[in-house]
Structure 1
């Protein structure tokens, strides 16, 4: 269920405060959601919500904590702690269905859509990333108000700047030379991702790998890792779930296999 759009942006109160308090409250809510799922098969919004003021900074990554460490702040990155207890008491055979239901619930809220776009958990498949980015686009206007602290020190991004920082290479891999507007480029990418074939995904991943290689100064076998034939062969040999995890061309997911191939080349 999608939460009705409101001109006022509200996030769960448990994500605001000092680190220790947020950790306690998120853990308790995680356990509460687990109990709720076992009882009803679904999830509901936290009762306590707080308004996010225009221009207020949201800490989206632990790397940005240095600036905010000694004060109460919005710490959206700490939502990851929810997943520590979410499966509590849920039978193993039910967990995948529960995870899918929880993500669907989250994507119907502005805070959940934002979290899943900024810190997407596995699998980062083209289909799932299309759903996550589509959810973000639905809440784009209301999420324009805050500023976002991410990996760049002392920088508070706009939503557009944050998405360009995280997804610029992915958007370009799917839609080379796309619109100048990040929002429009993302919308076009979502449409292509949602109907992508395996070959479409392969082409997008091959376009983003050179960016990953340039960003990793420690890679030792750059010539092989820049060879399209070698890369296509390695991508084709990935187990289905591993290929699915990189099929969106999300650069942080692609980074893992590229580094693994470099280590494998080193051993030989």
Structure 2
């Protein structure tokens, strides 16, 4: 079930409150969704919605706000539903159920926001293209709130996407538009039809940028060497390569760190 877009932004009401209250409600919501999925094979919209006012702050990251007892939108806690979403679901059905849940969520502004700001693995090109496309569909209505992602800073939607995705966008569309929204739209088109070689080239463009910025890497020259990187990427098992094929900066950094440690053992 995909709701029609509304000019009014509404999120699940249980995401508004104190962190303790939301944690309890999230688990209950996860169990409810699991029961509904087992009965119907689909996920219904939350039973109670709450309007998000223009300029209202949405906390998107656990480290962005430390007054946990304050009543507000703690959006990053949406992921707590996964603690109980599997309840009663046969093990062999769980991946299909998770995929169906993501598809359902991406049809809503709150789900699009969560899966894009706090993306669950695998962060493949196909999945990230779908997630970015979902945010673009709800872009206008999502411009109303402000977003807390790092301490002491309130982002606009454009600034939030800039912070999280600009390096990925540049890897896919070098020298793209200054507008993050336009750059995302261009990237989605390329990413959605990308071959493995397209993905490899995007990741190769990103890796030296990440190495240059991160002073923690010990073997910087090797990790900037295109031939070394191409060889290592080409040797990754298919599922491993798929997991970083979107050129997501966090996933790619983890892979670089693994190679850095491996180089240190030789």
TM-score normalised by the chain length of structure 2 = 0.98
Q: CA deviation at 1:215?
A: 3.3
CA distances 1:33-54 after superposition (whole Å, capped 9, x unpaired) = 1111111111011111100000
Q: CA deviation at 1:214?
A: 2.6
What count of residue pairs does the alignment treat as equivalent?
266
User: Does residue 260 in structure 1 map to residue 258 in structure 2?
Assistant: yes
Measure, in 1, the Cα distance between the counterparts of 2:236 and 2:98: 24
Measure, in 1, the Cα distance between the counterparts of 2:207 and 2:85: 34
Q: CA deviation at 1:2?
A: 2.5
* Helix, strand or coil at the partner of 2:111: helix
2:4 matched residue in structure 1: 4
User: Does residue 241 in structure 1 map to residue 239 in structure 2?
Assistant: yes
Measure, in 1, the Cα distance between the counterparts of 2:45 and 2:2: 11
Measure, in 1, the Cα distance between the counterparts of 2:133 and 2:178: 18
1:104 matched residue in structure 2: 103
CA distances 1:164-187 after superposition (whole Å, capped 9, x unpaired) = 010010000000111111101000
Measure, in 2, the Cα distance between the counterparts of 1:123 and 1:116: 11
Q: 1:166 is matched with which residue: 160, 164, 167?
A: 164
- Give the unaligned 5+ runs of structure 2: none
Q: CA deviation at 1:80?
A: 1.0
2:18 matched residue in structure 1: 18
2:191 matched residue in structure 1: 193
What are the equivalent positions in structure 2 for 1:38-49 lying under 5 Å apart? 38-49=38-49
CA distances 1:109-157 after superposition (whole Å, capped 9, x unpaired) = 0000000110110011101111111111000000000000002x21110
TM-score normalised by the chain length of structure 1 = 0.97
1:155 matched residue in structure 2: 153
1:229 matched residue in structure 2: 227
* Helix, strand or coil at the partner of 2:147: strand
Q: CA deviation at 1:69?
A: 2.7
* Helix, strand or coil at the partner of 1:44: coil
1:76 matched residue in structure 2: 75
RMSD: 0.9
- Give the unaligned 5+ runs of structure 1: none
Q: 1:178 is matched with which residue: 176, 179, 185?
A: 176
1:55 matched residue in structure 2: 55
Q: CA deviation at 1:222?
A: 0.3
Measure, in 2, the Cα distance between the counterparts of 1:25 and 1:125: 30
1:137 matched residue in structure 2: 136
CA distances 1:222-242 after superposition (whole Å, capped 9, x unpaired) = 011000000011111111111
Q: CA deviation at 1:216?
A: 2.4
Q: CA deviation at 1:82?
A: 1.0
Measure, in 2, the Cα distance between the counterparts of 1:107 and 1:130: 11
Measure, in 1, the Cα distance between the counterparts of 2:255 and 2:53: 40
Measure, in 2, the Cα distance between the counterparts of 1:234 and 1:86: 36
Contact 2:20 2:69 survives alignment (8 Å) = no
